[in-house]
Amino acid sequence: MRNQIRKMNYLQYFLTVLLLSCIPPVYLDVISMDSQNLKSVLGGHELVFVNFYADWCRFSQILKPVFEEASNKVKEDIKEEGKVAFAKIDCDSENSIAAQYHISKYPTLKLFRNGEPLKKEYRGQRSVDALATFIKDQIKDVVEMHNTLESLDEVDTNKRNVIGYFASQDSDQYRTFAKVANQLREACKFHVAIGPVAEPERTGGDTVVYRKPNTRREDLTYTGSLVSYEHLVQWANDKCVPLVREITFENAEELTEEGLPFLILFYNPDDKSIIERYNTEVAKQLLHEKSAINFLTADGSKFSHPLHHLGKSAKDLPVLAIDSFRHMYVFPHNVNNDLEKPGLLSQFIADLHSGKLHREYHYGAEKTESYPTPTIPGEAKEATGHLPHDKSEPEQKVKQPTSPPESSFIKLAPSRNRYTILRDEL
């Protein structure tokens, strides 16, 4: 009888083990996000790693267990509440969220820090170790400690640097500074001196300064509250992220991922003065458009293809144009002569927002002060700046387009048909 019970116990144990081995592992750490909990999840964690997926996508299905296992692995090492969360969004059922973050392919992995998405999507290897390592690296403190003021004079002058001088590391002021440093780690280098070594720079209390590239002690001092994250991050962002950036073939795809139309100055590399003038006018006329437009410059000798789409060539430089990611529009004035004329640049942007630039292609120039209606028949298109017309050449009939030139730079963005996950990455 005892042997029979023992055999039954063994059999029961064997069946239990067999049953458990057939049950797939349960992952509880990946949060399903939707319009109801989006803000609370993003706002409740320093980092949120989000998998934008579609159930019908085979590559999304392949990534799913990898992403879940990476979540578990990170949670084993980072147990601090509110530090890290892995989340997923079904883009079919939450298409408004997908549109908000410009998701055009599946799966797309984006990292959110302090509720804000990083400009770059994750493009590394899709393995458990790679995903976990990426998140762990993002948690690491990026603030560089300095034991002497002299060492601060040796910081890389090719970089944009933010320097903090604090009495203590255990203070709200320093914690705010560290949070800002992590938020802007891709844009600036952050340094700090703490305690007695910082006293010579703390005559008025804790201080944060910005050091421009190629300077030593020509620092700009932050004058706002050091315990206000919103104010400090805005100030640092304005210093660390240039209002006008250079677009190259290396960073074009990254810039398109930001999802903002381009206002782009194609310049002759022998003419650097036009870049300075453009920077000045953007800051003067368009600063309020920073969140809606990407202000860029491009070497016109390298980006000849977009110029060709506009009917322009190197001899026409400088050329100022908008790429809306649907169509391209040329500034309807002479860049060299009219760039500084009050209101012309801001009106150009306003006409993009209102749809006027597109309407003029179909109906001719609208009668306004900025865009006077042409009096010469057949020149309505030229007045909008969209068709080149060299008056030194003989008059010839040009076939009028029925729509503006197609966007050029969207072709440098990730293809809508290209998946972010490759078979050999797993």
Tell the residue number behind the tokens 């990946």, with chain if given: 30
Higher-pLDDT residue of 53 and 305 is 53
C-alpha 275/C-alpha 13 separation (Å) is 77
**Whether the Cβ atoms of residue 317 and residue 266 lie closer than 8 Å to each other:** yes
Q: Which helix (H) or strand (E) holds 84?
A: strand 84-90
Residues 6+ away with beta carbon under 8 Å from 37: 31
Provide the pLDDT for residue 401.
Answer: 45
One domain for residues 400 and 293: yes
**In a 3-state reduction of DSSP, which class is residue 3?**
helix
* Residue 16 domain flag: no
- CB count within 10 Å of CB 319 equals 24
Partners of residue 296 on adjacent β-strands:
245, 264
Higher-pLDDT residue of 20 and 130 is 130
Q: Is the pLDDT of residue 184 over 50?
A: yes
Instruction: Please state, in angstroms and as integers, the Cα–Cα distance from residue 12 to each residue in 1, 9, 15, 21, 206, following that order.
Output: 16, 5, 5, 14, 68
Half-sphere exposure (Cβ direction) of 279: Cα atoms closer than 13 Å: 12
Q: Residue 277's domain is classified under what CATH number?
A: 3.40.30.10
Provide the pLDDT for residue 8.
Answer: 52
* Residue 20 domain flag: no
The total number of structural domains that make up the chain: 3
**Residue where a domain terminates, one of 95, 120, 140:** 140
One domain for residues 265 and 386: yes
One domain for residues 335 and 213: no
- Calculate the CA 362 to chain-centre distance: 33
One domain for residues 253 and 281: yes
Would you place residue 172 in the very low, low, confident or very high pLDDT band (cuts 50, 70, 90)?
very high
Mean pLDDT of the chain: 82
C-alpha 341/C-alpha 88 separation (Å) is 49
Average pLDDT over residues 107-131: 91
* Residue 60 domain flag: yes
* Residue 1 domain flag: no
Instruction: Please state, in angstroms and as integers, the Cα–Cα distance from residue 136 to each residue in 120, 131, 146, following that order.
Output: 17, 9, 24
* Residue 19 domain flag: no
One domain for residues 215 and 252: no
Average pLDDT over residues 95-115: 90
pLDDT digit string, tens, across residues 280-322: 999 999 988 887 899 999 999 999 888 988 899 999 999 999 9
- CB count within 10 Å of CB 6 equals 10
One domain for residues 118 and 192: no
One domain for residues 102 and 218: no
Higher-pLDDT residue of 130 and 424 is 130
One domain for residues 232 and 249: no
268 by Cβ neighbours in 10 Å (0-12 / 13-18 / 19+) ranks as middle
pLDDT digit string, tens, across residues 349-358: 999 888 888 7
- Residue 102: domain span: 30-140
pLDDT digit string, tens, across residues 3-25: 554 555 555 655 554 444 444 44
One domain for residues 281 and 386: yes
* Residue 249 domain flag: yes
Return the amino acid letter for 360: E
* Residue 9 domain flag: no
Tell the residue number behind the tokens 């790693």, with chain if given: 49
Average pLDDT over residues 202-213: 95
**Residue where a domain terminates, one of 125, 140, 155:** 140
C-alpha 120/C-alpha 85 separation (Å) is 18
Taking Cα atoms as reference points, which of 257, 379, 251, 261 lies closest to residue 303?
251
One domain for residues 384 and 254: yes
Would you place residue 166 in the very low, low, confident or very high pLDDT band (cuts 50, 70, 90)?
very high
Tell the residue number behind the tokens 């939450």, with chain if given: 94
Cα dihedral: 346, 352, 355, 359 (round 10)? 100
C-alpha 412/C-alpha 410 separation (Å) is 5
Would you say the pTM of this structure is higher than 0.85? no
Buried b (16+ CB within 10 A) or exposed e, 275-302: bebbbebbeebbeebbeebbbbbbebee
**Residue where a domain terminates, one of 208, 240, 272:** 240
Provide the pLDDT for residue 260.
Answer: 84
One domain for residues 210 and 196: yes
Provide the pLDDT for residue 138.
Answer: 93
C-alpha 286/C-alpha 347 separation (Å) is 10
* Residue 13 domain flag: no
pLDDT digit string, tens, across residues 148-162: 999 999 999 888 999
One domain for residues 249 and 236: no
Would you place residue 258 in the very low, low, confident or very high pLDDT band (cuts 50, 70, 90)?
confident
Q: Is the pLDDT of residue 66 over 70?
A: yes
